[in-house]
Amino acid sequence: MTDPIPDPSSAHDAPTLRVPTATHPLPRPPGAATPAAPAATPQASAPGGTLAGEASLPAAAAGAPRASPAASGPVRQVGRYQVQERIGRGGMATVFKAHDPSIGRDVAIKFLHASLCEGDDYRARFLQEARAAGGLSHPNIVTVHDVGEIEGRPYMAMELLSGISLAEELEATRTIAVRDAVVMGIQLARALDYAHARGIVHRDIKPANIMRLTGSRTIKVTDFGIAHIEQAGEDSLRTRAGDVLGTPQYMSPEQTRGERLDGRSDLFSAGIVLYQMVVGQRPFRGDSLIAVATKIASEPATPIDKGRTDIPASLRRVIDRCLAKNPAQRFQSGGELAEALVKVLAEIDEEARERERPRILPLRVKWAAMMAAIVALVMGVTATLITQRQVAALTAQAIDYGASAARFMAAQNATMVLGEEWEAVEVIVEKIMKTGDFERITVADANGIVRAASDAALLGKPYQSPRGEALGERDKVRVERFEAGGQSVLGFDAPVTFQDQVAGRVAIGIREAPLTAVARLSITLMIVLALVTVLAVAVAMYFVANWFARPIKLVGDSMAELAKGRFDHRIHEQRGDEFGQLYAAFDAMADALQSRESALGRDGATTPGPTRAATLPGTLPGGLPSTLPGAPPAAAPGSGSRSSGPQRL
């Protein structure tokens, strides 16, 4: 039925379409005065002690309003009901808050408009479908207490709910938290699955027909006034194929075409509601109802990620499947949709637990990293010291070799230098350079003039020692390091002596590159050895720490069992180490707790918390909680909050 509150997505949304749509005041009994029009504010009493919307009521048996202790304003007796105030009006019916004194309960009573009562066919169809809705008993479907006629006016008496419709909530907040939307979607799917299993197709699922109870996430599906009954006999009065009933913005493609419907049409509408709750607008929008119906029938829905990018992909897939044009591609039952949404909810909750879970570094990782760091430090220091010693030893060997070679050349050429046989000396120098062991060889006479050299440009010139780093002397051989041609060279300068008289000098140079290559190879091998050792220690410590973590996890899980009230839980494992002592201490503690519970008269083997929670009031079918953690409980009917649930038209 139509809702007096505009749809939150658009101020121009059309009301529920019905056949017929004309409404007129109820005819009064002969001689009765024509009542005044309803007051502008439905909840307020009209002047003169009359009820707002009194014209929509059947003629009273007593004929005049009277006061009632249970009501703050005038009360009108209609049948056995004491009508207190009008709380809603639409194109098909008017809803009043009433009191049923026979059972002492406030109800919402809905009277069909007089214009719709003129045809016996439509009135009978309404009563049949209303009685079918009254046969539904589900925690997420509004309860119909009574269906009948008063003075020819069909009515339904329903439970009076405390809360607001999703349409009102969306008008105020635009969107609903994703998790809340999923929880309410699960309830909606289960309610539809229950109705469909009994042959009832709602055909007008929209936010205005879904009540959210005050202070909770529990919803109630309302307004089965245009529901379709599948199991009705062929000759019975029911809604016929070809009738276009419902709210155009929430219709399924087959519903817009007036085709025969089944429960999958409601699931399409549920998909639109889910889309609107999380995105803030409907997936199909247009400038007119015809444009909207055309888009629903032929165009794909606007992708959710264009409106919001933080919606879980799993929820997007569920909504997209609900909005499939072909009913065969949608969920085939409300149960399937509920199951898919339960998986989405589990995914959302798991992600939330991961975000809230303390970021700890597992013990096995800590131990492995700690041991790896220690070994790396030790290996690094050791490798550095060893490498330095190796390089120093190799350098000393090279210096000893160079000094020995310089002294040997000076001794072997002393006679020729003394006899100034420079040609023979040049031949010897040339042969030695061909070996490739030396970078240079220079021979000078007693006056310091170069007489033989590997570099012919130095011949006849005064000998000049290359400038570099002095490394000391070895047996009268001066040692230094210098750069030549971009390479490091060890230079050796040895005197040529004869009978303790200096007859000349021999200078040789040895490349340091081979020595450096050997040192680098040694360093590389040490690094590889260190890395392999560190890796081996880290892997070994990881598995060792993992082995140690298992007993710790066992104790943690056992503590969790105690937290659930399972005082009969024991570890019962024998170990010959400290963990064995820990196990024994835990079992002793559990014994003490169980003994104390027994002494207090309670059963020590308490049913685990999750099992108990599944049987508590305020939970949904399947153990789904009906309220947010820490949220206030839902207000009881008649607690003072204004009802706006089943009384929405």
Task: Give catalytic residues, as residue numbers.
Answer: 204
- Cα(106)–Cα(182) distance, rounded to whole angstroms? 31
CB distance 559 to 593 below 8 Å: no
Q: In the structure encoding, which two tokens stand for residue 440, read together?
A: 């240079």
Residue among 459, 468, 461 at smallest CA distance from 488: 468
- Determine how many CB atoms are found less than 10 A away from the CB of residue 432: 16
User: For 336-357, b where at least 16 C-beta lie within 10 A, e where not — what string?
Assistant: ebbbbbbebbeebeeeeeeeee
Sign of the Cα torsion 518, 520, 523, 528 reads negative
What is the distance between the terminal CA atoms of the chain, rounded to a whole angstrom? 4
DSSP three-state, residue 140: coil
- Contact call for residues 643 and 87 (beta carbons, < 8 A): yes
For residue 161, what are the CA distances in angstroms to 96, 165, 180, 213, 321? Answer: 13, 10, 20, 7, 32
Query: Which of 445, 446, 447, 485 lies closest to 466 in space, CA to CA?
Result: 485
**DSSP secondary structure letters along 241-301:** TT---B-GGG--HHHHTT----HHHHHHHHHHHHHHHHHSS-S---SSHHHHHHHHHHSPP
Do 258 and 142 form a contact (C-beta atoms < 8 A)? no
Q: Are 304 and 311 in contact (CB under 8 A)?
A: yes
DSSP state of 38: P
Other beta carbons less than 10 A from residue 515's beta carbon: 18
